[in-house]
A and B are shown apart, each in its own frame.
Chain A
Amino acid sequence: MTPEQKNVLIDHLDESLRGKASANLEEIVGNDPEAEKEWNYLRLAVDAVKEAGLYQEVSAARTAWKAEATNAAATIAAATGAASTTATATTAKVRPLYRVSLRAAAIILIITASASIYKYFSVSSGSLYDRYYSGYNLSTTRGAGDTDPVMDAYNAKDWNAVRQLAATAKTRTNQTDFLAGMACLEQKQYDEAISHFEQIIAVNTHAGTDLYQDEAEYYLAISWLARRNVNEAMPILEKIRADQHHKYHEKVERMSFFDLRLAQYKENK
């Protein structure tokens, strides 16, 4: 086919893609095997372009998603920097006429700066864990008919027994993993707790189920806080906050994300 003939095919293709009828297309393609072959190659080329465009768009969303956490940390860094700059400014010389009002402003700034400094030094992933951790009450959230030895041990707060029974259970379920994870948290064995909660999430993701999914996500984030790793906790907490149907949405909504980001900033410094 000559390039001109190919261009005619391209025009037909463009028209058909934009919903315009191309009357003599069937005549051209139907009666000429070479034209039909070229037509198929052109359609494949357009598919390739559309695929590349979609990939580019998804790639941009991926970059934005990754940048969100980084941006949040950067915002806090900027705010902390501004506070310290303002505090330094109070030492500058002032003219007598404005001395009283400037002195009052300076006092307010010093108080604000002191509060910021106190906040900065008092907030940490550990302190956030202490603030937000509360145990999981099994009896009020699960039916009474489905008790088993692990549940009994959990209700009796016998954390050693919970972990031992879960470890030796014949079948490992999300429930045993979750209760074992909570027992580990109670005993401050954070790495083990994390491993249990991650196992639940992996199993659910794999099997397309959601048994103890919300609980595992929330307590996984709490475990990362306990482990002094806000970077791992933040994406999970952000996800829960964005999901209004999540069981722990309200709880996470009440958390101070400023404090969390401040702790994250300190962690990344």
Chain B
Amino acid sequence: MKAEVTYTDAELIEAISDGTDLNRAIQFIYRQHAEATSSFIRHYGGSEQDADDIFQDAVVAFIDVVKKGKFRMESNVRTFLASIAKNCWFNELKKRERAGHRNKQFEMSRPQDEPDVAEHINEIERKKQLRDLVDGLGESCRKILLLFYYENMTMREILYHLPYENEQVVRNKKYKCLQQLTGLIKDNPAVARQMQEIIK
């Protein structure tokens, strides 16, 4: 049987911040917290697919927050994930315009000592828009940018993964791809507006 690593909250935060074994940390989060959070979403009218999607967003948001050093240890990981998931689901219900009765129950039962995650929820929405733009790039551009900026590979290492002649070709391709992505960002009114606000 495959050995499964377990983490305390503090160890989990460290593993994510450190980034050396992020994949194992993510798997642990799924084993440990996915079922409880998903059952909550299902309890409030979500399908299994909804629950999975919402939990995935919550995990991404949690990792973002930890990597930026913004996770405050006064709320534990389970509570934080649950709060993010709950608020995401609440937003999703609003979007689907079928809030009605269930939302009322939901609002009334919101505890006061819950961590304030509003800022993170807005961030999730913003990042979804950015992700969509990356998905709008062609597959080769997407790959080269992911290998360089997410996997932190050098040009030489990228050569082993993608069919280019030499490092200079990879470099030129990456220039073009990144400029293509900034072009998509500038052309997207919602993202460009956010950007203007940041620049102000």
Name A's B-contacting residues (CB within 8 A): 3, 6-7, 10, 14, 17-18, 36-38, 40-42, 44-62, 64-66, 198-199, 201-208, 217, 235-236, 238-239, 242-244
Q: Are A42 and B182 in touch, CB under 8 angstroms?
A: yes
With both chains docked as a complex, state the minimum distance between the C-beta of B190 and any C-beta of chain A, in angstroms: 13
Within 8 Å by CB of B195, from A41, A61, A198, lies A41
Q: State whether A61 and B64 are in contact (beta carbons under 8 Å apart), knowing that A45-B178, A49-B134, A198-B39 are contacts in the complex.
A: no
Question: In the complex, which residues of chain B have a beta carbon less than 8 angstroms from the beta carbon of A3?
Answer: 175, 179
With both chains docked as a complex, state the minimum distance between the C-beta of B181 and any C-beta of chain A, in angstroms: 4
Q: Are B111 and A45 in touch, CB under 8 angstroms?
A: no
With both chains docked as a complex, state the minimum distance between the C-beta of A74 and any C-beta of chain B, in angstroms: 15
With both chains docked as a complex, state the minimum distance between the C-beta of B53 and any C-beta of chain A, in angstroms: 9
Question: In the complex, which residues of chain A have a beta carbon less than 8 angstroms from the beta carbon of B114?
Answer: 207-208
B contacts with A: majority SS = helix
Q: Are B79 and A65 in touch, CB under 8 angstroms?
A: no
Q: Are B182 and A41 in touch, CB under 8 angstroms?
A: yes
Interface members, chain B 29-44 (any A CB < 8 Å): 29-32, 34-37, 39-40, 43-44
Q: Which residue of B lies closest to A36 (CB)?
A: B199
Q: State whether A243 and B32 are in contact (beta carbons under 8 Å apart), knowing that A49-B134, A198-B39 are contacts in the complex.
A: yes
Question: In the complex, which residues of chain A have a beta carbon less than 8 angstroms from the beta carbon of B37?
Answer: 205
> B113 an interface residue at 8 Å Cβ cutoff?
yes
Q: Are A54 and B63 in touch, CB under 8 angstroms?
A: yes
Q: Are A53 and B113 in touch, CB under 8 angstroms?
A: no
Q: Which residue of B lies closest to A235 (CB)?
A: B35
Within 8 Å by CB of A17, from B78, B110, B149, lies B149
Within 8 Å by CB of B40, from A42, A61, A206, A236, lies A206
Known contacts A58-B59, A205-B40, A208-B79; 4 further A-B pairs (Cβ under 8 A): A44-B191, A52-B150, A61-B30, A243-B6
With both chains docked as a complex, state the minimum distance between the C-beta of A49 and any C-beta of chain B, in angstroms: 4
Q: What are 23 A-B contacts defined by CB distance under 8 Å?
A: A10-B179, A44-B130, A44-B191, A44-B195, A45-B185, A49-B134, A50-B150, A51-B127, A52-B130, A52-B150, A55-B131, A58-B63, A62-B55, A64-B30, A65-B34, A202-B40, A204-B36, A206-B111, A208-B75, A208-B76, A236-B35, A239-B35, A243-B32
Cβ contacts B174-192/A at 8 Å (1 or 0 each): 1100110110011000010
Question: In the complex, which residues of chain A have a beta carbon less than 8 angstroms from the beta carbon of B175?
Answer: 3, 6-7, 10
**CA of A48 to CA of B31, assembled, Å:** 27
Interface members, chain B 17-32 (any A CB < 8 Å): 22-23, 26-27, 29-32
**CA of A40 to CA of B63, assembled, Å:** 23
Q: Are B151 and A53 in touch, CB under 8 angstroms?
A: yes
Question: In the complex, which residues of chain A have a beta carbon less than 8 angstroms from the beta carbon of B179?
Answer: 3, 6, 10
Q: Are B39 and A201 in touch, CB under 8 angstroms?
A: yes
With both chains docked as a complex, state the minimum distance between the C-beta of A199 and any C-beta of chain B, in angstroms: 8
Q: Are B40 and A201 in touch, CB under 8 angstroms?
A: yes
Q: Are B26 and A61 in touch, CB under 8 angstroms?
A: yes
**CA of A204 to CA of B81, assembled, Å:** 13
With both chains docked as a complex, state the minimum distance between the C-beta of B24 and any C-beta of chain A, in angstroms: 9
**CA of A208 to CA of B82, assembled, Å:** 8
**CA of A88 to CA of B184, assembled, Å:** 63
Within 8 Å by CB of A49, from B79, B145, B198, B199, lies B145
Question: In the complex, which residues of chain A have a beta carbon less than 8 angstroms from the beta carbon of B44?
Answer: 202
Q: Are A242 and B109 in touch, CB under 8 angstroms?
A: no
Q: Are B111 and A207 in touch, CB under 8 angstroms?
A: yes
Question: In the complex, which residues of chain B have a beta carbon less than 8 angstroms from the beta carbon of A18?
Answer: 152
